[in-house]
Amino acid sequence: MLGISPEDLLKRAVVDASKELINESISEKLDLQILGFDASNKVVKIADLGCSVGPNTFFAVQNIIEAIELKFQNSSSLEFQVFFNDQSQNDFNTLFRSLPPSRNYFAAGVPGSFYDRLFPKSSLEFAHISNSLHWLSKVPKEVVDRNSPAWNKGSVQCSTGSSKEALRAYSAQFKSDIETFLTARAEEVVPGGLVFVLTAVVPDGIPISQTYAGAFYDVLGSCLNDLVKMGVLSEDKADSFNVPVYNPTPKELEAILKTNKNFNLEKMEELPQSITNAQITPKGFALGGRAAIEGFIKNHFGDEFADQIFNHFITKVEANSSKIQEKKHNHLNMFITLKRVVNCK
């Protein structure tokens, strides 16, 4: 396991835990005739969106392929084409060089944001997105507007100290982004095709600040405030920093998905909570978090402040270790299966 981060281990655990749910979805919800797999169409096209550089993306894709092979009696006549997507800043060179040599699919990389169109019309049978939909397309503009009631002074995301208006702005941005995501996928996924979503949620009724992710952003926010007090960062600079990330509650997510006209919500299940408990330590959490948000920190504060911010952050995470550990259970991963509606549009 050398060289694999705790963040990666967690993602792997989430991917592994979803295997059985993917199997069930494909076994119960997939109509081979609608997709034409028993007749003319012999190529199954699968996209992994927000794939990063591997290896978790390869396991996820393999799970989907194995489930299709299980379902389809005559699977030896099928060919698989897999599209690995991430932002064009992703390291596709590393991804391509680490593709499994004995893979049974044709591989392609697709650069771009999954909030935009990435594929031609009706060109995918399956899409999969894991640990990515909590990244918003942007920071809601109100939360960094000093004149708005949603101004998120002193916080870097939805956490302790955020006003109701700030929370509402984050939630609205998330809703709008999911709708944008599904509108793009509705064009790309064939009728009857399936979209699998794995995403972290905040349990209903629990404030974000009482969750693991919330604790991360609370510590980061207080760390920036410390550096303002120490005269390292200007107050303006710290106040105008927010991270474009949001974890909805299951109810909130379900409501958005249920009103979508292009996809049916076929399955929505919590993954076993043991996944989270088993994998993360506070230090691992801090390092994993650093990898995830370092780009935002550097963009906003400049390269020269990133180390200073993260060094202070790690010290604070260690000092607050037991408080963070307490919040571990308040972190759920949901597995969702969406089916592209057949007679629509």
Closest approach, Cβ 105 to a second copy, in A, equals: 9
| Cα–Cα distance, 163 to 288 (Å, whole number) | 27
Distance CA 79, CA 34 (A): 17
342 contributes a contact to a second copy by CB under 8 A: no
CB atoms inside a 10 Å sphere around CB 116: 10
- Identify the residue among 79, 235, 236, 270 touching a second copy (CB under 8 A): 79
Among 27, 93, 299, 311, binds a second copy (CB under 8 A): 93
Q: Which of 4, 28, 42, 277 binds a second copy (CB under 8 A)?
A: 42
- Residue 77 is given by DSSP the state G
- What's the burial of 258, exposed, middle or buried (CB within 10 Å: 0-12/13-18/19+)? exposed
For the bound state, the minimum distance from the C-beta of residue 167 to a second copy, rounded and expressed in Å, comes to 35
Per CB under 8 A, which region of 59-67, 95-103, 172-180, 259-267 contacts a second copy? 95-103
- Nearer Cβ to a second copy (107/268): 107
Q: Which is nearer to a second copy, 25 or 90 (CB)?
A: 90
119 vs 174 by CB, closer to a second copy: 119
**Residues 43-72 close enough to bind a second copy by CB under 8 A:** 43
**Considering the complex, what minimum distance in angstroms separates the CB of residue 44 from a second copy?**
9
Q: Count helices and strands (H / E) in the chain.
A: 12, 7
CB of 91 to a second copy, least distance (A): 6
Name which of 79 and 179 has its Cβ closer to a second copy: 79
Rounded Cα distance between 231 and 219, Å, is 18
Which of the ranges 93-101, 133-141, 218-226, 255-263 carries the binding residues for a second copy, by CB under 8 A? 93-101
Residue with tokens 């909805």: 248
CB-based contact 13:278 (threshold 8 Å): yes
The least distance separating a second copy from the CB of residue 97, rounded to whole angstroms, comes to 5
Q: Which stretch binds a second copy (CB under 8 A): 77-85, 134-142, 292-300, 330-338?
A: 77-85
The least distance separating a second copy from the CB of residue 50, rounded to whole angstroms, comes to 15
Under 8 Å between Cβ of 245 and 157: yes
Q: What is the spatial distance between Cα 123 and Cα 72, in angstroms, rounded to a whole number?
A: 20
Identify which of residues 44 and 133 has a Cβ nearer to a second copy in the complex.
44
Measure Cα distances from 2 to 8, 10, 15, 51, 312 in Å: 12, 15, 19, 21, 26
Looking at 27, 73, 74, 88, which residue binds a second copy (CB under 8 A)? 88
Instruction: Please count the CA atoms within 13 angstroms of the CA of 249 that sit on its side-chain side.
Output: 13
Segment contacting a second copy by CB under 8 A, of 83-91, 219-227, 256-264, 312-320: 83-91
Scored b (16 or more CB within 10 A) or e, 299-319 reads ebbeeebbeebbebbbebbee
Instruction: Annotate each residue in 98-137 with x if it binds a second copy (CB under 8 A) or - if it does not, as one string.
Output: -x------xxxxxxx----xxxxxxx--------------
Helix segments in the chain, DSSP class H: 6-29, 32-35, 56-71, 92-97, 164-188, 212-229, 235-239, 250-258, 274-279, 282-301, 303-319, 321-326
Count of residues interacting with a second copy (CB under 8 A): 28
**Residue 48, CA distances (Å) to 68, 111, 337 in order:** 16, 12, 14
Q: Which residues of the shown chain bind a second copy in the complex (CB under 8 A)?
A: 42-43, 79-81, 83, 88-89, 91-93, 96-97, 99, 106-112, 117-123
